[in-house]
Amino acid sequence: MIRTILFDLGEVFIDGLIGIERLLPDQIKASGQDMISAFLGEPLNELCCGRLSEETYLSQILRERGWPLSVAALKGFIRTNFRRCVPGMEKILADLAEARYELVLVSDHAPEWVEYVRSVHPFLQRFAAQFFSFEVGTMKADPTTFRAVLRTIERTPEECLFIDDREVNVRSAESVGIGSISFRDARSLGKELQRRGILDGGPGSERNLSCA
């Protein structure tokens, strides 16, 4: 029986780095995909595992790409993107809390970013436990992350369900026996939770499609 729902954060509840290309100024002569690619790779992993500061990470990007931005400006664009919510997801979170499921956050994130996200998104208080890669020391693509989470929350894999937008993370959770759902949007997630008997209804009406 499912007792605990494990959730990703970025691209599931709030925008992560995807979408920042819409905010960067026109002086950056690059495609949206090239802009996103600048943030990815091993430096991002080092940042999210707490082995690299945001300042160093962003300075490296600006230096390598030659973008006409300051580190402070780039920090601002990133945080503006983090303010955006994925429509409908706070309603699903509230419904799961009302149904008395234990809610747990498992996220690959940097400490500086988490500090900001917590300051602007009070819905994070609904999670009984929050596990971030910079605290655990590993990313979700590494199955040891999920083993560590299970030990801490004292749950078996069969008691948990994991929801994430990245297939590599879904496969990682499934490799330790945790059933998973690949996230696309709140409406399809609500239907899948209903199909599994976890929720009585879908993600709510149109008026509830904002996580404010």
- For the segment 56-110, what is each residue's pLDDT rounded down to a tens digit? 999 999 999 999 999 999 999 999 999 999 999 999 999 999 999 999 999 999 9
The answer to whether 161 and 178 have CB atoms below 8 angstroms apart is yes
How many whole angstroms from its chain centre is CA 130? 11
Taking each helix axis as running N to C, give the angle between helix 111-120 and helix 71-82, from 0 to 180 degrees, rounded to the nearest 10: 50
**3-class SS of residue 106:** strand
Domains of the chain: 4-15+84-208 (3.40.50.1000), 20-82 (1.10.150)
CA dist list (Å): 120 to 2, 58, 116, 123, 127: 30, 22, 7, 9, 15
Contacts of 30 (CB under 8 A, 6+ apart): 38, 65
The answer to whether 61 and 39 have CB atoms below 8 angstroms apart is yes
In the numeric block, which tokens belong to residue 201?
């209804």
Q: Is the pLDDT at 207 greater than 80, yes or no?
A: no
For the four alpha carbons of 113, 118, 120 and 123, in that order, the dihedral sign comes to positive
**3-class SS of residue 3:** coil
pLDDT tens digits, one per residue of 12-56? 999 999 999 999 998 898 899 999 999 999 999 999 999 999 999
Q: What is the pTM of this model?
A: 0.91
Taking each helix axis as running N to C, give the angle between helix 167-175 and helix 143-153, from 0 to 180 degrees, rounded to the nearest 10: 60
Mean pLDDT of the chain: 93
C-alpha–C-alpha distance, residues 90 and 203, integer Å = 9
pLDDT tens digits, one per residue of 162-199? 999 999 999 999 999 999 999 999 999 999 999 999 99
CA dist list (Å): 4 to 1, 74, 102, 117, 166: 9, 36, 5, 23, 20
The answer to whether 193 and 101 have CB atoms below 8 angstroms apart is no
